[in-house]
């Protein structure tokens, strides 16, 4: 039985780049929906429910930052952002708003495809049943089979990448996991030096899971080395 093609929403206002990405994705079997501004991107996301979003940050009508924020209020669909901006503050802002990956222009086809494979792999990995069942740590409850997290009895919405990071940390309790180990396991080999990814994602997890994010109980920093999960 043939599998359905992955449906990608491509939101990019630059015609040449949008056509370049669309052609390269379609020839590899992806179904591509195109938007040329932020409002159109939001409308297509609502009506078509794509499995992946490739989102330019500097678009008319609504910026990619605004689109990312609105989608994240309702969905954990993987989002890759594209931009000519290479400042770390813009990367951090995009990640804080819920982006899963970040690609600076100009980029090649191989790099784009590698990022797409990586975010789709994380999304698919994070929903696979795990054998370890439900883990409880004080007010925190992690259900690895159901891909769900609760704190103080309330459901917590995590993106696939957030859940993958939490699952890897929590299944190695009290063990210091280095930056490189976490990046390679959760993001992939090509991300081994992207330390800002970890800083932002650990910060997001703390805000969602810790009673006092500035004084975390579960997600601890090992300065200069990595992070450790404490039950």
Contact between residue 59 and residue 41 where contact means Cβ atoms under 8 Å apart: yes
Instruction: Judge whether residue 37 has pLDDT over 80.
Output: yes
Higher model confidence: residue 34 or residue 173? 34
Q: Average model confidence (pLDDT) for the chain?
A: 87
pLDDT digits (tens, 9 = 90+) for 217-228: 999 999 889 999
pLDDT of residue 94: 86
Which residues, other chains included, contact 216 with Cβ-Cβ below 8 Å and sequence gap of 6+? 206, 210
- What are the DSSP calls for 44-98, one per residue? HHHHH--SEEEEESS-SSS-HHHHHHHHHTT----EEEEES---HHHHHHHHHTT
Instruction: Judge whether residue 75 has pLDDT over 70.
Output: yes
Write 171-177 long-range contacts (CB < 8 A, 24+): 171/132, 171/144, 172/229, 173/229, 173/230, 173/231, 174/228, 174/229, 174/230, 174/231, 175/228, 175/229, 176/222, 176/225, 176/226, 176/227, 176/228, 177/226, 177/227, 177/228
Domains along the chain with CATH numbers? 7-126 (3.40.50.2300), 134-229 (1.10.10.10)
Higher model confidence: residue 110 or residue 129? 110
Alpha carbons 4 and 146: distance in angstroms, whole number: 24
Instruction: Judge whether residue 128 has pLDDT over 50.
Output: no
pLDDT of residue 129: 42
Mean pLDDT of 13-36: 96
Instruction: Judge whether residue 188 has pLDDT over 80.
Output: no
pLDDT digits (tens, 9 = 90+) for 51-72: 999 999 999 999 999 999 999 8
Joined together, the tokens standing for residue 99 give 């982006």
Residue 103 CB: number of other CB atoms within 10 A? Answer: 16
Instruction: Judge whether residue 12 has pLDDT over 80.
Output: yes
Alpha carbons 206 and 219: distance in angstroms, whole number: 7
Q: What percent of the chain has pLDDT over 70?
A: 94
Bridge partners (DSSP) listed for residue 200:
none
Alpha carbons 61 and 74: distance in angstroms, whole number: 21
Alpha carbons 164 and 145: distance in angstroms, whole number: 12
């Amino acid at each position: 039985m043939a599998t359905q093609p992955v449906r990608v929403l491509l939101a990019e206002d630059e015609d040449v780049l949008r056509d370049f990405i669309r052609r390269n994705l379609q020839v590899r079997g992806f179904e591509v929906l195109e938007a040329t501004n932020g409002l159109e991107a939001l409308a297509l996301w609502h009506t078509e429910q794509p499995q992946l979003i490739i989102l330019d940050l500097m678009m008319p009508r609504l910026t990619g930052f605004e689109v990312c924020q609105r989608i994240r209020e309702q969905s954990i669909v993987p989002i890759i952002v594209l931009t000519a901006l290479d400042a770390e503050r813009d990367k951090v802002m995009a990640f804080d708003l819920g982006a899963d990956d970040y690609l600076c222009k100009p980029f090649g086809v191989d790099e784009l495809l590698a990022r797409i494979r990586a975010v789709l792999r994380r999304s698919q990995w994070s929903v696979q049943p795990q054998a370890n069942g439900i883990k409880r740590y004080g007010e925190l409850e992690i259900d690895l089979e159901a891909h769900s997290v609760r704190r103080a009895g309330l459901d917590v919405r995590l993106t696939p990448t957030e859940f993958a990071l939490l699952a890897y940390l929590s299944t190695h309790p009290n063990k210091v996991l280095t930056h490189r180990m976490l990046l390679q396991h959760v993001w992939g080999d090509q991300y081994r030096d992207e330390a800002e990814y970890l800083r932002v994602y650990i910060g997001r997890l703390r805000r969602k899971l810790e009673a006092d994010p500035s004084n975390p109980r579960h997600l601890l920093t090992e300065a200069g080395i990595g992070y450790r999960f404490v039950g």
